[in-house]
């Protein structure tokens, strides 16, 4: 996971099938306009980027629920993403 103004990527471990992983991210109030992206590599090492939050600023809070719907033979993922964000 990464977002603009963040100096290093946020590493997410491998998540087993039918399991959940919770990650808390608290952007500082000085973060300006930003988006959050999920990046992963497929079986061939190709990097893919999926937008998971289209817009946020420092001080925003909320939840993102990301479900992997399917994986093709090359390891490319299809997602369902649900945002529940608040301005405060």
Distance (Å, rounded) from C-alpha 12 to C-alpha 10? 7
**42-82 pLDDT, tens digit each:** 999 999 999 888 888 777 878 888 888 889 999 999 988 88
Phi, psi for residue 26 in degrees, rounded to 5: -120, 90
For the chain, give every domain's residue range: 2-86
Q: CA 70, CA 77: separation in Å to the nearest integer?
A: 6
Structure tokens given for 27: 């952007």
| pTM value > 0.85 | no
């Amino acid at each position: 996971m990464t977002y603009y103004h963040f100096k290093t990527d946020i590493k997410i471990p491998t998540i087993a099938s039918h399991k959940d992983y919770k990650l808390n991210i608290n952007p500082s109030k000085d973060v300006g306009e930003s988006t959050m992206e999920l990046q992963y590599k497929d079986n061939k090492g190709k990097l893919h980027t999926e937008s998971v939050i289209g817009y946020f600023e420092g001080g925003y809070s909320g939840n993102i629920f990301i479900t992997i719907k399917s994986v093709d033979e090359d390891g490319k993922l299809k997602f369902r993403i649900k945002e529940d964000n608040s301005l405060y």
